[in-house]
Structure 1
Amino acid sequence: MQFGVFSVGDVTPDPTTGRVPSEHERLTAMATIAQKAEEVGLDVFATGEHHNPPFVPSSPTTMLGYVAARTERLVLSTATTLITTNDPVKIAEDFAVLQHLAGGRVDLMLGRGNQAAVYPWFGQDIRQGIPLALENYHLLYRLWREEEVDWEGRFRTPLRGFTSTPRPLDGIPPFVWHGSIRSPEIAEQAARYGDGFFHNHIFWPVEHTRRMVELYRQRFEDHGHGSAEQAIVGLGGQVFMRPRSQDAVAEFRPYFDNAPVYGGGPSLERFMAETPLTVGSPQQVIERTLSFREYVGDYQRQLFLVDHAGLPLRTVLEQLDILGEEVVPVLRREFAARKPAHVPEAPTHERRVASSGDGGT
């Protein structure tokens, strides 16, 4: 199982000091967090994609290329690549280049995005979000697998005998996760292609997550990719830890209360009770994370959000130390002991190359 962190790259005032980091500080902090993730033994760093304030990661492959040059084994991913507003041809090219330069340590998570204003900036209409996601991915899938592509669809100019360059490393495209919070069409898309399904798992209650993952697993089996238990699932989550749970709650509360995505809503206590948000001791995070398996089954990737809502970089790096030293080693051991032999490991470039040589896909 893979463990890692993801960042949405928000520039948010620290509510305890009023200080707002500059865009430069925030971008370099994200790179520092990625390098720290490898240092403490995590497997994955993922960055979001946003094109509007207060977010800064508008060019994920640039960020990941920078991190690739400063790490050796970290898997580099996106927490969202906007399949709706990016041209599939450019996605195919950019991630193939990154895949070569990073030695295969690359995958990506496709999503529609939830900011309506972004769509017209790229010549699109949010009301066409689902059709765009479905059509654009079908083209991306073909671009990485066919030497010459003839294409005609609703949302871009036709292609005639087009070859995307460079070709994927070792003939194996980057692994694709389809990320969705609420759209069953995206779970179906992931299942159809035999790709991974990533549920954000931050804002919604357990029953919603269970339904979405069960839909994906059943359709994965229906499409003939293997049993439902062999479907590739990833989860997000947010944690904040201190040795004593009461200290964690007291320290995190002002960040929660003023966060762009949380502030003004339910209380911290209610949010922790009704969603997977875990604020407390390392042992509480371990127990809560292990409980996810009870309603999604055995899964392959767990990513934690640790740098949202104005938390200072120093605090984020402390959180990574706790994850690496106290939490993830226990989670690795416990998840491994409980995983049945027929459930696959997380897909990596090396495993997929080996599988391809054995006649797999």
Structure 2
Amino acid sequence: MTSDPTTGRTPSEHERIKAMSLSRSRRRRCPWTPLDVFATGEHHSPPFVPSSPTTLLGYVAARTEKLILSTVTTLITTDDPVKIAEDFAMLQHLADGRVDLMPGRGNTGPVHPWFGQDIRQGIPLARENYALLRRLWREDVVDWEGTFRTPLQGFTATPRPLDGVPPFVRHGSIRSPEIAEQAAFYGDGFFHNNIFWPAEHTRRMAQLYRRRYAHHGHGTPEQAIVGLGGQVFMRKNSQDAVREFRPYFNYAPVYGHGPSLEDFTEQTPLTVGSPQQVIERTLAFRETVGDYQRQLFLMDHAGLPLKTVLEQLDILGEEVVPVLREEFAKGHPAEVPDAPTHASLLKAQEEVNAA
């Protein structure tokens, strides 16, 4: 709930929650139509409001037909893996399989003691909780004992995953090589939230994950499933985009009162300019991480009013994404797989069972 620096007005919790669901958007056309994925974060402290991602995603599932629903991220260290298993299996059924999961540790330290955990145990918690989550999705009856939660005896998580196929998992991390290793170990996807860090750091994390993915026998480094974050602000003319976005950047809670907009856009993937500039810079991300399967954009942040966010979604969906799809498809290496879907995972499982 960030104040709009140009008006001084701060939206209410109700306004922000309704805006996230876009229930007050244009009635005749949904601006998500040209897009593939909608993802939401999870936070439990003011000024954030999305404390219940599956509630929001269930609402969005009922209003869409093709959109893949995901989190960025589900707090694997503080959420109970039993509840994660059940919540996302339920969401899977409601959305007919259009669900991914992105576990992560989040970026708000105090959340750990609020949920009875020690932030200093973040990596061991992430490992243990995810190992249990996998078993809960893949085994009908689970006997389990670990370090951080009470044991389970003869436990069955309900509902079971749709068609016996758990949601595809992309482990989200900005800075932790241990999480890249965890993703590689299980043959899961890896998502680097490519927002605050320079390209060289992103390159190292992606390369580590790709090497370890191959090391654990899941395929070649090129076959690993990589996703990136990004953030943009666009207008027809780049000068108009910079002029309009500058006050929002300067006072944003996350990166305001720090480097200048020019320095930040030079040193990180933030792109403020024309649609063509966004296209060119996004296509260049392949030079950093290789061919990859998912690109998310942070669109609704820094106090931008809903009207502006909807305009940005229109530009993204109508002028940017179609070109990105076409250009990414050109010269796409045959050995690089498409992003997994429920249908493709189900087909692969059926082939294994038949063999």
Class of the TM-score when normalised by the shorter of the 2 chains: over 0.9
| Aligned-residue CA RMSD (Å) | 1.3
C-alpha deviation, 1:359, in angstroms: 2.1
1:206 counterpart residue number: 199
Instruction: Indicate if the aligned counterparts of 1:197 and 1:234 stay in contact, CA closer than 8 A.
Output: yes
Equivalent residue pairs, number: 350
1:184 aligns to what?
A: 177
Q: Which amino acid aligns with 2:340?
A: P
**Is 1:30 the equivalent of 2:17?**
no
Deviation at 1:38, TM superposition (A): 2.7
Rounded to whole Å, the distance in 2 between the matches of 1:157 and 1:248 is: 52
> Greater relative contact order: 1 or 2 (C-alpha under 8 angstroms, separation 6 or more)?
1
Counterpart in the other structure of 2:276: 283
The structure 1 segments of at least 4 consecutive aligned residues displaced by more than 6 Å after TM superposition are none
Q: Quick check: 1:167 aligned with 2:160?
A: yes
Q: Tell me if structure 2 keeps the 8 A contact 1:46–1:78.
A: yes
1:236-280 CA distance string (max 9 Å, x none):
000000010010000000000000111111100000001000000
Residues 1:346 and 2:339 are matched in the alignment: yes
Q: Share of identical aligned residues, percent?
A: 77
Cα drift, residue 358 of structure 1:
2.1
8 Å contact 2:105–2:122 — kept in the other structure? yes
**Pick aligned residue for 1:147 from 135, 140, 147:** 140
Specify every segment of 5 or more residues in structure 2 that has no aligned partner in the other structure, as ranges.
Answer: none
> What residue number does 1:266 align with?
259
The within-5 A match list for 1:55-74 is: 55-74=48-67
Which one of the candidate residues 96, 107, 110 is aligned to 2:100?
A: 107
Retained in 2: the 8 A contact 1:37–1:45? Answer: no
Match in the other structure for 1:8: none
1:84-95 equivalent positions in 2, closer than 5 A = 84-95=77-88
SS in 2 for 1:345: coil
Change (3 A) 1:37 1:298: farther
Contact 2:213 2:224 in 1 (8 A): yes
- Partners of 1:190 and 1:251 lie apart in 2 by 39
The Cα of 1:54 is off from its aligned counterpart by 0.4
* 1:305 aligned counterpart, secondary structure: coil
TM-score (norm. length: structure 2): 0.97
Q: Distance in 1 between matches of 2:37 and 2:296?
A: 8
Give TM-score, length-normalised by structure 1.
Answer: 0.95
Q: Could you tell me whether the CA contact under 8 Å between 2:32 and 2:317 is conserved in 1? A: no
Alpha-carbon distance in structure 1 between the residues aligned to 2:205 and 2:304? 31
Which residue type is aligned with residue 16 of structure 2?
A: R
Residue 17 (structure 1) aligns with:
7
User: Contact 1:38 / 1:73 at 8 angstroms: preserved in 2?
Assistant: no
The amino acid that maps onto 1:137 is: Y
Offset of residue 37 of structure 1: 4.5
Q: Which residue of 2 aligns with 1:7?
A: none
Unaligned 5+ segments in structure 1 are 1-10
* Alignment correspondent of 2:320: 327
What is the DSSP-based 3-state SS (H/G/I as helix, E as strand, rest coil) of the residue aligned with 1:76?
A: strand
SS in 1 for 2:330: helix
